[in-house]
Amino acid sequence: MIFEVRKECKMEREIYEKMLKWKNDPYRKPLIIYGARQVGKSYIVKEFGEKEFEGFVELNCDQDERIAGIFDHGFRTDRLISDIEIVSGQKILSGKTLIFIDEIQEVPKALSALKYFCEDAPEYHIIAAGSLLGLAIHEGASFPVGKVDELSLYPMTFPEFVKARLGSEAYERLTKAPLEDMESLTMLFTEALQEYFFTGGMPEAVQAFIDGREMNRVRDIQKKILADYSLDISKHAKPEILGRIHQVWNSIPQQLAKSNKKFVYGDIQKGARAANFKPAIQWLMDAGIIHKISRVRKAGIPLKYYEDFSGFKLFLLDHGLMGAMVDASISEILLGKNVFEEYKGTFTEQYVVEQLICYVNGGIYYYDSESSKLELDFLIQEENILIPIEVKAAENLRSKSLSQFYKEHRGSRPIRLSMSAYRQQDWLTNIPLFAACRISEIHGDVPA
């Protein structure tokens, strides 16, 4: 089967279905959408408002100084609605108008007001979003605990990229077809994955690639996003940790280039101590632009009980941004025969992290046992089953670590992600890298 490659596309995101479910939920609360800058929050909310509601009102707290005044005089919801109508120039009808409060962290009282909309005026549909909302909450902004629904938006996943690049039918095959029936599409999806390794998942970069395949323009967009992130750090970070935040941020690609990818403070600068850099790491996590994967020393259920905070790996938000950050060769990524092996598999493991975060329920860890000296790239839990995961960027399919883990934990379901086709062995499931989104499906039928 051949899919037509799109010359232009519209960014369709999987979060849209979750937003529809929220809209139709009779017990819904105001919705907060988390996500780093430029992952597409405003775009998807505007599209949702225009498609699913008769009216759409947008309040941008970062651009309109009048908005702060709306929330300065108490939280009586009928007055708030009246003031929003005056500022926006639009009539707000319950059940028919979507109110979108963007960059809500800039007006903390607007965040507090969500509690009163939940309690006193649940008939209104309200969505709030903010690029640095996590940072504002961590620094003390009042948060309406228990009074809001929450969703997270990340850069486009590989299935979302496939939908934009190859269309809905290819997306359906990738996400829903039996894995054993996907071998005929290996070349197609592998080529798309190679393109995705270059573009990453930032919507503007993907759009530019699909619209015109202007590679330098895509890289310029990625560089601009990185520059914007650096500006955010300089603008919002406290002076006492500003330099350390930049040091941590700039060190991540080099940390991931190591064979074990474990984050080591001493690799930032000689003599660096955890106490000095932990606040910087937390800042980057709150800003949503890095992911922290903690270590577990013991494989027990629930895994959270065995989390070891002294050992962790840090990954960037998006592998496309990492490529721009290290000036990875565009031609090598798009045309190189060994792109999935290059840079010691750094891009491949970064890609897997991004897919796991979007498609796996629960925590994501890596395994490093002191007793057996056994290391595994990732360890997750689906229901009461442990799933150890090994990432193979090359065709080398030896899996000594997985084999040893299975011998010690017979009820586990080992998975190897590689460039090889799907196959089920006695104790091991091999999943092609392009189908990493399907990992959570492989937890039934555990061998004895």
Would 7 be classed as within a structural domain? no
Residues 262 and 312: their CA atoms lie apart, in Å, by: 6
Same domain assignment for residues 331 and 432: yes
pLDDT score recorded for residue 104: 94
Asked whether residue 422 is domain-assigned, the answer is: yes
Comparing CA positions, the residue from 248, 276, 442, 257 lying closest to residue 360 is: 442
CA gap 391, 353 in Å, rounded: 10
Structure tokens at 249: 């941020």
Give the residues across from 32 on adjacent strands. Answer: 128, 150
Per-residue pLDDT, 333: 81
Q: Are residues 113 and 248 in the same domain?
A: no
How many CA atoms within 13 Å lie on the side-chain side of 318?
A: 32
Domain end marker among 152, 186, 215:
152
- Write down the pLDDT at residue 77: 96
Q: Which domain holds residue 110?
A: 15-152
**Residues 206 and 338 grouped into a single domain:** yes
Write out residues in the chain with pLDDT < 70, as ranges. Answer: 1-10, 335-345, 394-397, 443-448
Domain check: are 259 and 333 in the same one?
Answer: yes
CATH of the domain at 62: 3.40.50.300
pLDDT confidence of residue 448: 39
Q: How many domains does the chain have?
A: 2
CA-based nearest residue to 200, from 35, 323, 329, 360: 323
Same domain (yes/no): 140, 232: no
Do 131 and 188 lie in one domain? The reply is no
The answer to whether residue 29 sits within a structural domain is yes
Could you write out the DSSP letters of every residue in 338-368?
TTTTGGGGHHHHHHHHHHHHHH--S-EEEEE
Residues 211 and 135 in one domain: no
C-alpha angle 351/354/356, rounded to 5°? 110
Asked if the bond preceding 239 is cis, omega within 30° of 0, the reply is no
- The number of angstroms, rounded, from the C-alpha of 212 to the middle of its chain's C-alpha atoms is 26
In a domain, 211, yes or no: yes
Domain identity same for 214 and 81: no
Q: Is residue 88 part of a domain?
A: yes
Q: Tell me, yes or no, whether 100 and 242 share the same domain.
A: no
DSSP 4: P
- The pLDDT assigned to 447 comes to 42
Q: What are phi and psi of 35, to 5 degrees?
A: 165, 145
Question: 115 with 183, same domain?
Answer: no
Do 266 and 251 touch, CB atoms closer than 8 A? Answer: no
192 & 135 share domain: no
The answer to whether residues 296 and 303 touch, using CB atoms and an 8 Å cutoff, is yes
**Nearest Cα residue to 127 out of 138, 114, 109, 142:** 114
Residue 158 lies in a domain: no
Helix (H) or strand (E) holding 219: helix 215-236
**Inside any domain, residue 175:** yes
In a shared domain, residues 39 and 99 = yes
End position of a domain, from candidates 152, 182, 216:
152
178 part of a folded domain: yes
183: its two tokens: 């071998």
